[in-house]
């Protein structure tokens, strides 16, 4: 009940904000469950300046999509609130997308960690990882596969967080031997982290705090925190999550 009240207050706050994006998109609808879904296409056609709901020191990313590109702004504080990685002494951020690599490195700083950001050239990234004696990895599937010779040839890491939009868990299972903890983090550039699961053949996904997931034909995501561009009933192209009951 209290959750529902908080959600109503949150929706009301967005309705009343100067930024027109959601107000125009929602029309007069006030109830969360009845709000029209918002899609990436809406972000693509709406300038960031019309969907900026708070004005803090921030990093802006360019999100590329086959249909075009759009800006996604994240305040440094909000970046720190996402659940991208786990506490570590010497994390390495090794991601295919340079915007994501800078953002996830900032996430480390927001948590008092000094990250090594991996260069695109694998040899240099591996050399730096050895020199820095990394103890954890924040990565994505394709980068982790590239890094496999390195992780295989050293002692186990404390943790590997694999970020992505889709996973083939069975193909990743063998990475379980290279770290004490391997987790999958479902994340989109514009939504941040959505759900996490321990690496398993059939991962048991759990929605991350402040996330509401609705299993429809595709996964609908709501973040209960006010982000620069809030995420409210955001229709992803991701399939519904198995093992997640979809309850609000």
- Chain residues in the site for other proteins (CB under 8 A): 47-49, 55-62, 64, 68-71, 73, 76, 89-90, 98-99, 101-102, 105-106, 109, 112-120, 124, 127-128, 131-133
In whole angstroms, the minimum distance from the beta carbon of 218 to other proteins comes to 25
Burial class for 49, CB neighbours closer than 10 Å (0-12, 13-18, 19+): exposed
Q: Which residue has the tokens 């970046």?
A: 79
- CB-CB contact of 95 with 115 (8 Å): no
In whole angstroms, the minimum distance from the beta carbon of 44 to other proteins comes to 10
Residue 213: enclosing H or E segment and its boundaries? strand 211-215
Would you say 120 or 170 has its CB closer to other proteins? 120
Would you say 89 or 204 has its CB closer to other proteins? 89
How far separated are the first and last CA of the chain, in Å rounded? 11
In whole angstroms, the minimum distance from the beta carbon of 163 to other proteins comes to 16
Residue 50: enclosing H or E segment and its boundaries? none
Distance separating alpha carbons of residues 207 and 213, to the nearest angstrom? 7
Name the DSSP letter for residue 111: T
In whole angstroms, the minimum distance from the beta carbon of 192 to other proteins comes to 17
SS3 241: coil
Query: Phi, psi at residue 151, to the nearest 5°?
Result: -70, -30
Would you say 53 or 132 has its CB closer to other proteins? 132
In whole angstroms, the minimum distance from the beta carbon of 51 to other proteins comes to 10
In whole angstroms, the minimum distance from the beta carbon of 174 to other proteins comes to 28
Would you say 3 or 127 has its CB closer to other proteins? 127
Distance separating alpha carbons of residues 122 and 147, to the nearest angstrom? 7
- Which of 124, 130, 136, 247 shows the shortest CA–CA distance to 185? 136
Would you say 98 or 153 has its CB closer to other proteins? 98
Would you say 158 or 214 has its CB closer to other proteins? 158
Would you say 97 or 215 has its CB closer to other proteins? 97
In whole angstroms, the minimum distance from the beta carbon of 115 to other proteins comes to 7
Contacts of 73 (CB under 8 A, 6+ apart): 48, 52, 58, 59, 60, 61, 228, 229
């Amino acid at each position: 009940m209290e959750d529902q009240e908080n959600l109503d207050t949150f929706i009301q706050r967005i309705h009343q904000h100067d930024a027109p994006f959601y107000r125009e998109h929602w029309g007069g609808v006030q109830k969360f469950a009845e709000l029209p879904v918002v899609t990436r296409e809406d972000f693509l056609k709406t300038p960031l300046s019309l969907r900026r709901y708070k004005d803090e020191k921030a990093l802006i990313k360019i999100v590329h999509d086959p249909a075009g590109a759009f800006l996604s702004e994240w305040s440094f504080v909000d970046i720190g609130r996402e659940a991208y990685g786990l506490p570590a002494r010497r994390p390495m951020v090794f991601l295919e997308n340079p915007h994501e690599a800078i953002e996830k490195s900032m996430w480390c700083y927001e948590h008092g960690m000094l990250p090594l950001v991996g260069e695109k050239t694998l040899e240099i990234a591996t050399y730096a990882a050895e020199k820095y004696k990394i103890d954890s990895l924040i990565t994505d599937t394709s980068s982790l596969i590239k890094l496999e010779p390195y992780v295989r040839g050293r002692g186990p890491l404390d943790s590997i967080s694999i970020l992505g939009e889709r996973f083939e868990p069975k193909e990743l299972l063998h990475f379980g031997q290279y770290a004490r903890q391997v987790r999958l983090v479902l994340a989109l550039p514009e939504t941040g982290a959505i759900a996490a699961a321990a690496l398993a053949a059939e991962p048991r996904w759990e929605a991350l705090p402040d996330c509401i997931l609705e299993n429809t034909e595709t996964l609908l995501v709501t973040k209960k925190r006010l982000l620069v561009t809030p995420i409210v009933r955001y229709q992803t192209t991701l399939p519904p999550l198995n093992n997640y009951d979809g309850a609000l």
